[in-house]
Structure 1
Amino acid sequence: MRRLVGLWRRSLRTRVVINTLLLSTAVILVVGWALLRDVADGLAENRRDAAIGEARAGLEQAQSQLDAAVDSEPTRQSQALTQLVDALAATRGENRSYELVLQGPLAEAGGAPVRASGNVGIDDVPADLVREVASEQGTFWTFSELSLFGAGDDIPVVTVGGRVTAPGSNDQYALYYVFSMADQQETLDLVRTASLAGGGVLLVMVTLVAGLVARQVVEPVRLARRIAERFAAGNLEQRMHVKGEDDIARLSTSFNQMAESLQSQIRRLENLSRLQQRFVSDVSHELRTPLTTVQMAGQVLYEARPHFDPQTARAAELLQTEVGRFEALLSDLLDLSRFDAGAATLELDPVDLATVALSAAQDEALSRAGIVGRARGVTEPAVVEADIRRVDRMVRNLIVNAARYSRSAQVDVIVTQADDRVSLAVRDHGIGMEPEVVRRVFDRFWRGDPARSQGGTGLGLAIAREDAALHGGTLEVWSRPGRGTEFVLTLPRVAGERVWSPVTKSVFA
């Protein structure tokens, strides 16, 4: 069943064929049912009309024979009625298609005697018809089923009844004609069998046609899907074969044009990316040497500032500060260029994140900002395989951001762990962030409020997320205005094994 469901979900051709087969089956069943109903109604009406006509003729003949038998004595009358039934039943010999039932006199108490031909009796006549004939003058009919004429199973019959009157005694007699509809039933069965056979053949043909049409339509789509998969895998030279001028051919042409346009755009973006990476890398390396010289000169001036006048001493301090910021920016740019070039590597060692959390809660950046740091979940070791330098940089970046921007009185550093991963969360209770800020907080060179930048470069969180991804982990953020912010760093126990979610969801999630 799973294979069938999978085939149904994956194969458009299978769905087209099955849906066509089901719809065709429904249409054939409805049309066949309507056709059989019309045929059955037509056969029944024709047989009914013929039976009523024949029965009326028989009733007139019976009345004529009774009128000719003027003897009113019961014995003579009984013999005449018996002869009447025999005479009417013998009008068609052995091939007659009806049986007779004569009941009467109807006014006789205790039930009128019955005379019948064959093995039919008054009990075989529908009770509703008996009541109608006994109560009213006229000719009445009804359909029913009986086991007659040597048939083993019940066959449909039409029964026609009327009354005749004995002239001498004015006694009323009910005369019933029971006509077989075996021929009509046989015709209907033949039509039903032919309809079923024709419907089955039609379904097979429709299935074959649907399969052929689906193949002609779906195969190009399937080919387009395969080429799109190869295109997505990086094989940008794949193209569809164009044959003819129909809609599929135009689709193939449009697909090839789209592929060529995408290939051109991808190559242009790759070239721009390589140029950008090369530019950042070259500039960072080229600025390293003059920056070192400027830094050495600035250090000399900074150490000699007690001998300068106040304005010169302040200029030396500003120079030292900005040179330090410039060096940090160059270091961040070099790291980003390594990430972009795929050249970043890890120096792996066992790292206890519980120890890292304890150290982060006591960071001097928090104490300088008047924030109380608290470590939680650090009673047990939480060891992962990681690069301690990059882990310290990620955690310190989160702590420094909380100290600079959160305006919180307390920052919690929380460690939770599972069998395959460990999460370290930095949670503040400050001003929080708006949703649009949360969406862009990991973008490079982006700062939510430049007026409160406090010297940041806008690269710290972007580098931290790259460091987490390099380990196979994740760095996520949740925040609500007025309720604080939580950054959750999740690392696998074994570096390189991908993790997709923190051990414990944030309270904001």
Structure 2
Amino acid sequence: MSSGALPSRSLPAGLRRGLTFWRRSIQARVVASTVVLSAVVVSIVGWFLLQQTREGLLDHRVTAVVAEANNETTEARTRLVAAPGTDIDSASQQRDLVEPIIQRGATRGFSVVLAGPVGDTGGRIEDGGAESTPGLDTSSVPASLEAHFDELAPTAWTYTRIRSADAEGVTRVQPGIVVGSQVKLPSDGATYTLYYLFPLDEEQETLALVTRALLTAAILLLVLVAGMTWLVTRQVVTPIRMARRVAERLAAGQLQERLQVSGEDDLARLATSFNQMASNLQRQIRQLEELSRVQRRFVSDVSHELRTPLTTVRMASDVLHDARHGFDPAAGRAAELLQTELDRFEMLLVDLLEISRFDAGAAVLEAEDVNLVDVAHRVVETTRALADQRGVGVVVRTPDYPCLAEADVRRVERIVRNLVTNAIDHAETSGRGAEIVVQVAGDEHSAAIAVRDYGVGLAPGEAAMVFNRFWRADPARARTSGGTGLGLSISLEDTHLHGGWLQAWGRPGQGAQFRLTLPRRAGVPLRQSPLPLVPVDAEETVS
């Protein structure tokens, strides 16, 4: 695992279960993605409808309040025309003008501010002197609209925030529309501005009602979409899950399992094809099992049957071999060759019997604590004569501490002996190629032995084939040790019996290395090896 990855064990148990369910359930992912996409579409449509509703409500309200403000202004101008211009002062006329409008505004739900006169430096609302609805904060009239009426101008409107205080002094702020219109007082001949402030409470409530309705409809729609998606995907996922369970049973060896076929749709046809495939696989597997059984029986029977004549031939060969000095040179040499080939033939029979036991599943592991350092030294000593005959030097590199593993010492020694003799067979007879290095190492979880030679090496792809029965890297090379071609295959089976690894590396002209890795405790799965599979010197050569 890389350093940037988050270990799954650091996550809470509930979150781990949720992530596992999310990874394994295609139905959950389809439902979730459909709901998310539907939520996005519903949100866009809902936002568009709300914008259209808001604009429609505001447009209708603006038209209504402008018309009402114009009516109030027209009525005020009519009353001003009828009033004498010199009988009363301008202050009294302003009050007479605005008070009826304030009264009507109290019943109709709008407020009024009278400011002016236009062109007077003291005519701004903030300068005081303006007449207004009681409790209204005159700063509710925007300064931009006041600036518009600093001179004679037609009716204009804008949005604002209406601030007012009730009888208890509680301030209230609400959105609204302010409409400005100008009138001329006969008393002083000056032009004043009437500001009508209409709240948008009803529109705001209507918009909130529409929003709640759309939100409720969206939630119900998403629930409906999720339910429909779940039902639709269930019709597809349920047969797939049944097929997965049947496939798992087939993989576990229950070859009689079949899918239930109902209907004539695509899934039913898929189930029919799956059942046909399972039947064909079952038939072929049984044929292969029968062939394998016959093959194992044949090898076992032949091996056992050959032991009796081999014993007889061995006895006759021993007699001839012991008396070879009294023969002529040709007959004496023939007696020696006969003895050698009989030894090899006997080894082949022993290996075939061992292979047949592995094939039949009859191999038994007698595990005990084994020190791989002692094993390496014993194997090197027993193969010393063969190495000297080939002119090859064998070097053992071991740590200062014992490398213990719970294993069958007989089988481990056979593995290491096969690796060392194989390295001697493929080693060169001069230079660095005449050296073989046996390295032992261990850690708290595993122990390993690596056998390195500098011979012909392995071509790309041959590292996986080298453990095949009777396979040879170089068919033209003679076996110095008189091997049978089954040594590495038996070694691999012995390694699997221990739950270990037996791996090979090699490159043409750079030699090869075989690594045996065993767990310290039997039954504990391996995670890594204390020795690298690729030798350090080979890595330096390549780089």
Q: Does 1:3 align with 2:14?
A: no
* Closer/same/farther in 2, CA of residues 135 and 354 from structure 1, 3 Å limit: farther
**Is residue 350–residue 383 contact of structure 1 (8 Å, CA) maintained in 2?**
yes
Residue identity over aligned pairs, in percent, reads: 46
**What TM-score comes out, normalization by structure 1 length?**
0.90
State the AA in 1 paired with 2:390. A
Structure 2 partner of 1:388: 409
Cα 1:415/1:102, change in 2 over 3 Å = same
**Are 2:147 and 1:126 aligned?**
no
Question: In the alignment, which residue of structure 1 is the partner of 2:49?
Answer: 35
Describe how 1:322-471 pairs up with structure 2 within 5 A: 322-362=341-381, 363-364=383-384, 365-407=386-428, 408-454=433-479, 456-471=483-498
1:172 equivalent in alignment to 2:191: yes
The answer as to whether partners of 1:142 and 1:160 remain within 8 angstroms in 2 is yes
2:95 aligns with one of 82, 85, 94 = 82
Residue 108 (structure 1) aligned to one of 117, 120, 133: 120
Instruction: Sort the Cα spacing of 1:132 and 1:430 in 2 relative to 1 into closer, same or farther, 3 A.
Output: farther
Q: Does 1:240 align with 2:285?
A: no
3-state SS in 2 of match to 1:433: coil
Q: 1:330 and 1:41 mapped to 2: Cα distance?
A: 97
State the secondary structure of the residue aligned to 2:262.
coil
In the TM superposition, what are the counterparts of 1:271-286 in structure 2 within 5 Å? 271-286=290-305
Shift in alpha-carbon separation, 1:183–1:132, aligned structure 2, 3 A? same
Q: CA deviation at 1:328?
A: 2.1
Number of equivalences: 507
Paired letter, 2:41: V
Q: CA deviation at 1:336?
A: 0.8
Question: How far is 1:491 from its partner?
Answer: 2.5
- Give the superposition deviation at 1:436: 0.9
Q: Please name the residue that 1:137 is paired with.
A: 153
Equivalent position amino acid for 2:284 in 1: Q
The question of whether the paired residues in 2 share the 8 Å contact of 1:488 and 1:502 is answered with no
Question: How many Å apart are 1:10 and its aligned residue?
Answer: 3.2
Report the AA paired with residue 338 of structure 1: R
Instruction: Check the 8 A contact 2:118/2:149 in 1, yes or no.
Output: no
Counterpart Cα distance in 2 of 1:482 and 1:134? 101
CA contact (8 A) 2:379 2:417 kept: yes
Which secondary structure state, in structure 2, belongs to the residue aligned with residue 119 of structure 1?
Answer: coil
The answer (yes or no) to whether the contact 1:99–1:178 under 8 Å persists in 2 is yes
* Contact 2:464-2:504 within 8 A present in 1 as well: no
Which residue identity lines up with residue 142 of structure 1 in the other structure?
A: T
Q: Give unmatched runs, 5+ long, in structure 2.
A: 1-14, 537-543
Check 1:349–1:185 CA distance in 2 against 1; reply closer, same or farther (3 A cut).
Answer: closer
- Alignment-derived partner of residue 196 in structure 1: 215
Deviates more, 1:148-157 or 1:266-275: 148-157
Q: Name the stretch that deviates more: 113-122 or 439-448.
A: 113-122
Q: Is the 8 A contact 1:162 1:175 kept in 2?
A: yes
- Does 334-343 or 246-255 show the bigger shift? 246-255
Tell me: CA distance 1:318–1:30, structure 2 relative to 1, closer, same or farther (3 Å): same
Specify every segment of 5 or more residues in structure 1 that has no aligned partner in the other structure, as ranges: none
2:238 matched to 1:219?
A: yes
- Structure 1 residue aligned with 2:58: 44
Structure 1 stretch 59-68 or stretch 37-46: which is displaced more?
59-68
1:86–1:457 distance in 2 versus 1, CA, 3 Å? same
In the TM superposition, what are the counterparts of 1:274-313 in structure 2 within 5 Å? 274-313=293-332
Shift of 1:341: 0.3
Corresponding residue of 2:30:
16
| 2:158 counterpart letter in structure 1 | T
Which residue is equivalent to 2:179? Answer: 160
Residue type of the partner of 1:275? V
- Shift of residue 240, structure 1, vs aligned partner: 1.4
Compute the displacement of 1:461 (Å): 0.8
Q: 1:32 to 1:148 in 2, by over 3 A?
A: farther
Return the letter of the residue paired with 1:76. Answer: D
Shift in Å at residue 498 of structure 1?
Answer: 4.2
Give a deviation string over 1:327-348, Cα, whole Å, max 9, x none.
2222222111110000112344
**Contact 2:115 2:123 (C-alpha < 8 Å) held by counterparts:** no
- Check if 1:97 corresponds to 2:118: no
Counterpart residue identity of residue 98, structure 2: V
Deviates more, 1:320-329 or 1:265-274: 320-329
Q: 1:422 & 1:380 partners in 2: Cα distance?
A: 12
TM-score (norm: length of structure 2) = 0.85
Match of 1:479 in 2: 506
Q: 1:285 to 1:359 in 2, by over 3 A?
A: same
CA distance in 2, matches of 1:272, 1:169: 125
The Cα offsets for residues 221-273 of structure 1, whole Å up to 9 and x where unpaired, read as 22222222222111111111111222332222222222212212211211121
Q: Which residue identity lines up with residue 504 of structure 1 in the other structure?
A: L
Per-residue CA deviations over 1:179-199 (Å, capped at 9, x if unaligned) read: 122111111111112222222
CA contact (8 A) 2:165 2:172 kept: no
